[in-house]
Structure 1
């Protein structure tokens, strides 16, 4: 439906890239992206418009990726995951660009911004033995939760060690 990878492909690719980055000592970043106030969008505009919104957001996210190994996937519902191999968290913040979705300008009267926005949780770092794909995902999910809690339409970054689950606002 979205034109991007599904969760199964994301999980397989994430596992393979994590192991590759462990061997090479490279860094890896992962983003969790959630469409803000999607339930109210669906309620106001209908499921067909909701499906179209998800498709358009997926394509906007995909347009931000420049390298063949980068991957965007629909993770579930209105949530996406982005995998950025060999990318530091600082560089991943450049990819975690909410403007691409804002530029699509999908009307959402239930949003304070008047259009569909996204919130992003980012985690990354070296793929050491003390970290795992699960700890990175948990850190990105925790960062997403903080972004939502702080009012949506923003990026929050997990601390440099994703196993600690500490979160700070991006910037």
Structure 2
């Protein structure tokens, strides 16, 4: 366990401590060394489907999304994701690529074939970080791509951007 005096001696430890345990996440404001709580503008009640075979990742994402006011649903593989797309009808889907039974690319293909979730904005969240993987995801219908490991701030900003785009389409 870190003692507060240890955190003062090492700015890097302090930063790591604050980003892990401060709620809401803290961000640095420009060249000044001031910190401010990250406020994400989202309307409460947005529905987000989280598809990842790793339960720890799902738990972290659920916690972050619930702090943003989102309603979440989880799926552990691609087949379960297709069922949840119809039952839950999310605004945004966070989709891992490497999963058992049906991978993330397969989910995007099946969504197109079955005409399911056509209005769902998809964020690909994966350890694959090659240019071809990003291009393949976008070509198959994903709207954004975030490589693991990622920060809570990056994730929150990407989700907020997808939710804003989703809401603006509904207003038209």
TM-score class normalised by the smaller sequence: under 0.3
* TM-score with structure 2 setting the length: 0.27
Specify the structure having the higher radius of gyration (Cα): 2
* TM-score with structure 1 setting the length: 0.27
Greater relative contact order (CA < 8 Å, ≥ 6 in sequence): 1
Larger strand proportion, structure 1 or 2? 1
